[in-house]
Amino acid sequence: MTGKELLVDIDSVQITVKLSRTRRLQIVDYASMQVHRGEMMGLIGESGSGKTMLCRGFTGTLGRRNAFISGGKIMFDGIDLVQAKADVWRSVRGKKIGYVPQSALAGSNPVLTIGAQLREALKNDKELDRDAMRKRAMELLEIVQIRRPDIVMKQYPYQLSGGMKQRVMIACAIALNPDLIVADEPTTGLDVTVQAEIMRLLKNIRSEFNTAIILVSHDLPLINDVCDRITVMHAGATVETLPSSEIEKSKHPYTIALYKSRIDLAPPRGDLITIKGQPPSVGGWQEGCRFNQRCDFVTDACLKGPHPLYLQLKPGHQTTCINHASIPHKVGSH
Amino acid sequence: MAPILEGRNISVTFGGALRKVEAVKNVDVSLEPGQTIGIVGESGSGKSTLARVLAGIQVPTFGEVSYEGKNIWKGKVAYPGEMRKKVQMVFQDPYESLNPRMLAVQAVTEAVSFHQKVSGKEAQNIALDLLERMGILRQDAIKLPRALSGGQRQRVSVARALSANPEVLIADEPTSAIDQSAQSQLLSLFNELIDGGLSIILVSHDLGVIRYLTERVYVMESGNFVEVGDTAQIFNNPQMEYTQKLISSIPGHINKNR
């Protein structure tokens, strides 16, 4: 990954939720990730692993969930997002970082027309007058391949299908030409065919505008297909970052287990490799590596001490597994 | 072999005279004992409606559903009497199909008491055994649904369905709302159920799940079956453009011969 400009540098980020005046729950306690300009990074993890909360760190909306960043730093294009005040956020949100929410249905305002919502997204751009805004809104709908944008502009979200709504959300996210798009499970609840179209669209946007994209999902085959690199989260911590093309050379048992439990690799009705047990409950983490109860390669050293930190294996590939050297080089196949 | 569950000329039309939606258009389905069939299609293709018709929850506009050769409808009642136990359904969303104020074991005990003539204590023991078979340990069985993960909740739903000792299980998108690791656990469970002789109708838009579990697949598009056949054959050599599109949309391209 040399030669590319670093855009996002997340270093040992911790996120804490305020449950009440005195009670605190740490939900992310070690998140590290680097994203370069124009790179497509996949962020994968089970529900409760903290991936959505990490995304909220990029949009400055943690406060709405009563959460705050309690440690580490998020640097974005030279701006420290942890220390950022409201006026800094105003210049970043939308303009430099676009956000595509998980549920297109909840993300759009039901009482505003699509045109009005796009205009709202464009409002931060002071150079546009009303006509120019309209023109740009039409242009955006064309970029996200919505047919007959003039009609869609006047429609309300309920009149659109799930896939079209998600396209509109993407149009809003790219309205101000951001350097980074954070897409939080953009295709959950959509059909596979629509999902494939949305993924193609995101890839096109990336290659056309050199936008970096962080794609969050719990679908490993999907991430592996479309992203350049993958960051794996488990129980509030990032455990491995590696290039998609090297997924078979993973050096973390959790990634390996996720990869092996893919059903498309199993013969029909054949034995499925399952990850035993449940992910540890949020905040109720055990000592040592949090995967130690579910791991096939566990040793005594995994059971003690704080959660292990990233070890750099080679450029672009980091793992937290302290036993990475003894993990079989090739992921066993069926 | 004579089919255990069969739907013939099933049509379902929603709406009134002005705006009619034909959700299912004159289709035939049949399930043999011990067989697992899959119904795939995009949202709006009518697959869930068809599943509901087979489960007797939705009244078909036309057509007949028969269980072991007998019409499932008797007047306004579907699956009257003992027949009700034979066909059970598991729904898509494990977050909404369980009573939020009932412990997992209570939810299953309720179903056991409904289907089997046993004392309360016995029903609870049966429920605990069932949950254990589903991989829910005793310590998790005494939790409320909100304290369980999506995969665990779905297994509680399956336990409820199995409490009637059914012959046929109709599962509507059982894996689409849960994580990958939970999905493989649930699929292993289905695998065991199939080995135990249960006949299953699996509705899904996830072709990976369909390919893995089913013997025969019905591909549905806007209320019609566009392609029906052996799962392996359809995945290796899809004839219709729509099926090809579905298969090529799967992340990781499942159609590579593996």
Task: Kindly state the greatest CA–CA separation across chain A.
Answer: 67
Integer Cα distance of A249 and A255 in angstroms: 10
Q: At what angle do helices A114-122 and A130-143 cross, to 10 degrees?
A: 110
Q: Does B253 fall in a domain?
A: no
Reply yes or no on whether the pLDDT at B258 is more than 60: no
Task: Compute the distance between CA of residue A81 and CA of residue A291 in angstroms, rounded to an integer.
Answer: 30
B181–chain A Cβ distance below 8 A for any pair:
yes
Which of A 266-285 lie inside 8 A of B, CB atoms?
266-269, 272-275, 278-279
CA distances from A156 to A110, A111, A232 (A): 7, 7, 37
Distance in angstroms (rounded) separating the CA atoms of residues A190 and A164: 10
**Residues of B whose CB is below 8 A from A222:** 251-252
- Does A42 reach chain B within 8 Å, measured CB to CB? no
Q: Three-state DSSP class for A74? A: strand
- pTM (2 decimals)? 0.85
Does B239 contact A at CB distance below 8 Å? no
Residues of B in contact with A264 (CB under 8 A): 208, 211, 250, 252, 254, 258
Would the CB atoms of B206 and A192 count as touching at under 8 Å? yes
Asked if A221 reaches chain B (Cβ–Cβ under 8 Å), the answer is: yes
Would you tell me which residues 133-172 of chain B have a C-beta closer than 8 angstroms to some C-beta of chain A? 149-152
If you search the block for the tokens 């002071």, which residue do you land on?
A126
The pLDDT tens digits for B114-163 are: 999 999 999 999 999 999 888 888 888 999 998 888 888 998 999 999 99
Inter-chain touch B252–A225, beta carbons under 8 Å: yes
Q: What is the DSSP letter of B253?
A: -
Q: ipTM value, please give it.
A: 0.76
What is the CATH number for B46?
3.40.50.300
Q: In chain A, what residues touch B188 (CB-CB under 8 Å)?
A: 272, 274
Specify the length of chain A in residues: 334
Q: What is the dihedral of CA A269, A270, A273, A278, to 10 degrees?
A: 30
B60 vs B181, residue with greater confidence: B60
Half-sphere CA count of A292, side-chain side, radius 13 A: 19
What does the pLDDT read at residue B254? 41
Distance CA A290, CA A280 (A): 7
Identify the three-state secondary structure at position A17. strand
Q: What is the pLDDT of residue B257?
A: 34
B200 vs A188, more confident: B200
**What is the predicted pLDDT for the residue at B70?**
92
Q: Which residues of chain A have pLDDT under 70?
A: 1-3, 104-105, 329-334
Radius of gyration of chain A (CA): 21
Are the C-beta atoms of residues B216 and B225 closer than 8 Å to each other?
no
Q: Burial-class residue B229 by CB neighbours within 10 Å (0-12, 13-18, 19+).
A: middle
Mean pLDDT calculated for residue range B166-184? 86
Decide if B194 is inside a domain: yes
pLDDT value, residue A240 = 95
Residue B256 lies in a domain: no
Q: Is A31 helix (H, G, I), strand (E, B) or coil?
A: strand
Task: Give how many domains chain B has, as a whole number.
Answer: 1
Task: Tell me the per-residue pLDDT of B65-88, one tens digit each, with 9 for 90 and over.
Answer: 999 999 999 988 999 988 999 999
pLDDT at A264: 76
- Residue A1's pLDDT is 46
B81 falls within a domain: yes
Q: Is residue B38 part of a domain?
A: yes
A20 contact B CB<8A: no
Domains of chain A: 6-96+178-326 (3.40.50.300), 97-177 (no CATH)
Closest-CA residue of B relative to A227 is: B251
Residue B180 lies in a domain: yes
Tell me whether residue B255 is in a domain. Answer: no
For residue B87, give its domain range.
5-248
The answer to whether position B153 is within a domain reads: yes
Number of CB pairs < 8 Å for A and B? 98
Structure tokens at B147: 């304290």
Distances (CA, A) of A297 to A91, A220, A256, A303, B197: 47, 21, 11, 12, 36
Query: Using CA atoms, how far apart are residues B90 and B161, in angstroms rounded to an integer?
Result: 7
- For the record, the structure tokens of B2 come out as 């004579």
pLDDT at residue number B256: 39
Interface of A with B in 180-209 (CB under 8 A): 191-196
Q: Evaluate if residue B253 carries a pLDDT over 90.
A: no
